[in-house]
Structure 1
Amino acid sequence: MSQSFKRMADKTVDRGPCAGCAVLFLQSLCPDVNLLSVYKDQQEGKFIVFKVIKLTLTDSAGGLGGYEILKVHDADPFLGVEVKFVDVAACQQFLESYSSGAVRQSLSQHACRLLALPEELTVETQLKAGTHILDLCLDKLELCLEHIHLSQPERLRDEEIDHLEQLLRSQALRPAPTTTAVTQEESPLPSNCFKFQNRVFEDRMLSAADVQSFSNGVGRQWKHVGRALGKSCRALKSPAIDNLAYEYEREGLYEQAYQLLSRFIQAEGRAAKLSRLVKALEDCKLTSLAEHILDIQPRE
C-alpha cells in the first residue's frame, strides 16, 4: 500500500484530501425501463435520472459533501457515472453501502418513486476504478480504497452536470415528504399517504437512509420497536428479536438495529413501508426519532 494512501487512511474521520475516483455503471433489468435511453432521449428524463443518482449517492456517501459527480456517459448498455470522493471517510462509507447492497436498494427505490414505476426497479451495477473491477474485491476494503485513490480525476466536471446541478439547486434535493395540513372536513387519505402529527406524508418503501437514521438513533430501544413491527410481520415474531440480539451482540446496538430493519425489509418486500416504521416508533414513544426520519424540523 502506498505511503500517501496510508496517510489518507489515517484520516477517515477528517475531511482530508480527495480520495480518488470511481465509475458506477448502472443498468435496469426491467424490459420497460432503459436508464440509458431515458437519460439520453428526454430532457425531463435526464433530470429525473440524474436526481435518482444524486439521491442515491447522498444516501450512501455520508451526505452531499462526500462526493462530486464529474460525468454521466453512455457505456451501452450501462449508464456510467464518474464520481469523485472528497475524502477517505466518504469513500469508505460508499464502499460499505455498495458491498451491502444498500446502493442498489436506494437506487431502485428512488427510481421507482421519481419515475412513477408500477413496481420496484431491478438494477444491475458494476463499480470500477481505472481498469480494476471493484466488485471482485469488495471483501478487501483497503485494496478497493487504494484502487480508487490511484484513480485521480483527469477532468473537471462536465458542463452538462453543472447545468443539472443548477436545476437541482432550484428545488429541494433531499426527498423530503410532502406535507399538508389536514382537517376533519377533508377527504380521506390517499392509499399512498399516511398521517403523522396532523400532517400527511407520502408513503414509500424504507430507504437505506431510513435504515441508517433508525440504527443511529434508536439505541437500546430497538427491541421494543422490533416487537411493535412484529405485530404485523411474521419474521419478527418471538423469538426472532432475541435471536438477533444474541447473533449481533458483539457488533453492538447499531448493527442489531440495522439487522432488525434489514430482516423486516427482506421479509416484507414492497410492504416494508415508512408508515409502518413510524407507527412502531409512535407505539414505543419514540416520536423524536420518527420526526428525524421524516425530516421534521424540531419545534422551538
Structure 2
Amino acid sequence: MDKVDAKKVTENCVDDLGTGCAFLFLESDCPDLLSAYKDPDRKFSLFKAIRLTLSDAAGGLDGYEILKLHDAEPRLGVEIKFVEAGACRRFLESYSSGAVQQLFTQHAGRVLPGAEDLALHTQLKAGDSSLDNFLHDQDRCLHHISLIKPDRLPDDEVCRLEELLRSLVFSDRSPCHPTQPPSCKQEAPCVPNNCFLFQGKVFDDRQLTPGDHQRFANNIGREWKKVGRALQKTCRALKSPAIENLAYEYEREGLYEQAYQLLSRFMQAEGKGARLGRLVAALEEVKLVGIAEIMLDLPPKE
C-alpha cells in the first residue's frame, strides 16, 4: 500500500474508532506498584488511583473501561478498552503532555501509603506498537488502538474493585443511610448561605486564597481550559475568546502558568465573588472530582 492509500485508511479509521484497546504500563521502585497490586491491603487504593487518573485524563467516566490489570513484571499493566474516539483523544492528549503521569503521581500520593515521593515510569502500547514513539501523531496512535479489538469482558477482579469504588462514592454522596426511612432520603441537607455541598458534605464557601490559586495551578494540568469554560458561564471576564487568548499568550510558559493566569483573571474580575464553591462546582461539572478533592484537601478514603 502506498503512502497516500495508507493515509486515507488512517483518516477513515480515526473518524470511527468503534472499539480498540491500549495498554498502559506503570512502574515505580518506591513503592513497587506491582507489589502493591499483589497486596490485598493496598490493591484497592492502587486501583482507585488508576481510576481517578483515567477519569481526569479522559474527561469523565464514559467512553472507556478497564478490562484487566496485568502482572507484566516489573511493571503493572492496565488494559483499557476505548469505545469513543473523543475519550481516546483526550486520554492521548493527557498522556503526551505528561498529565497522565502527573495525575497518577498526585492521586497515588494521596491514597496509596508510601507513594508520596513516587517516581513513575510509563509506557503506552497498542499490541506490539509502542505509541510513545509517535505521540505527536494522534491520528496514527488512534489508528493503532482501533486495530486491537478487545477479546474479553472486564476481569472479575476489576468488576469487584469497580463495584467497591461505586459503593463508596454512593455512600459519600448519599445524605442518609439506605436503611433509613424514605422520608429521610427525600430531605436535602441543610446548607447555610455561606457554605456549599460537595459529595454530601458541607464546606465553608470562603473566598479563594493565594494557596488555593497555587494548588489549582499545580494540579490541574492541561484540563485548565475545561474548568475555564465552566467558569465562563458566570464570569464575563472569561467569555470567548479570553481562554484561547490566555492559552496563546502563555504557551511558552507552560500549563502551570496558563492555569495560574486563568484563575488570576477569575479572581481579579469577581473579587469577593471568587469563592471556593464556584471553583469546586466547575470542577464537578467537567468531571474532575479528583482535583476538587485536592482543592478541598480531603483525606484519602480507605
TM range, normalised to the smaller chain?
0.5 to 0.7
TM-score normalized by structure 2? Answer: 0.65
User: 96, 99, 113: which is aligned to 1:99?
Assistant: 96
Distance 2:264 2:247 in 1: 22
Distance 1:209 1:292 in 2: 18
User: Paired residue for 1:159?
Assistant: 156
Distance 2:131 2:206 in 1: 45
User: Paired residue for 1:290?
Assistant: 279
Contact 1:215–1:254, Cα closer than 8 Å, also in 2: no
Q: Which runs of 5+ in 1 are unaligned?
A: 183-193, 226-248, 267-271
Change (3 A) 1:280 1:111: farther
User: Paired residue for 1:207?
Assistant: 220
Question: Any idea what the Cα deviations from partners look like across 1:102-151, whole Å, max 9, x if unmatched?
Answer: 00001000001112547342210000000001101111211111110101
User: Paired residue for 1:40?
Assistant: 38
Any idea what SS the aligned residue of 2:153 has? coil
Any idea what SS the aligned residue of 1:170 has? helix
Question: Any idea what the Cα deviations from partners look like across 1:68-113, whole Å, max 9, x if unmatched?
Answer: 0000011111100000011111111111110000000010000011
Offset at residue 284 of structure 1 (A): 3.5
Q: Which runs of 5+ in 2 are unaligned?
A: 1-5, 174-189, 193-202, 286-302
TM-score normalized by structure 1? Answer: 0.65
User: Paired residue for 1:185?
Assistant: none
Contact 1:28–1:121, Cα closer than 8 Å, also in 2: yes
Offset at residue 154 of structure 1 (A): 1.5
User: Structure with the greater relative contact order (CA < 8 A, sep ≥ 6): 1 or 2?
Assistant: 2
Write out aligned runs for 1:27-66 (5 A). Answer: 27-29=27-29, 31=30, 33-42=31-40, 44-66=41-63
User: Paired residue for 2:247?
Assistant: 255
Count residues with an aligned counterpart: 240
2:24 aligned partner, one-letter code: L
Distance 1:160 1:104 in 2: 24
Offset at residue 61 of structure 1 (A): 1.3
Contact 2:69–2:79, Cα closer than 8 Å, also in 1: yes
Change (3 A) 1:208 1:258: farther
Offset at residue 158 of structure 1 (A): 0.6
Distance 2:18 2:280 in 1: 34
Write out aligned runs for 1:187-266 (5 A). Answer: 196-197=205-206, 206-208=219-221, 211-217=224-230, 252-253=244-245, 255-256=247-248, 259=251, 262-264=255-257
Contact 1:109–1:207, Cα closer than 8 Å, also in 2: no
Any idea what SS the aligned residue of 1:112 has? helix
Contact 1:215–1:257, Cα closer than 8 Å, also in 2: no
- 1:144 is the counterpart of 2:137: no
Distance 2:282 2:223 in 1: 6
- 1:113 is the counterpart of 2:110: yes
Change (3 A) 1:254 1:134: farther
Distance 2:87 2:250 in 1: 19
Change (3 A) 1:290 1:279: farther
User: Paired residue for 2:21?
Assistant: 21
Contact 1:8–1:88, Cα closer than 8 Å, also in 2: no
User: Paired residue for 1:133?
Assistant: 130
Change (3 A) 1:295 1:217: closer
Any idea what SS the aligned residue of 1:121 has? coil
Change (3 A) 1:100 1:22: same
Any idea what SS the aligned residue of 1:110 has? helix
Any idea what SS the aligned residue of 1:83 has? strand
Distance 1:294 1:116 in 2: 26
Report percent identity of matched pairs.
40
Offset at residue 208 of structure 1 (A): 3.6
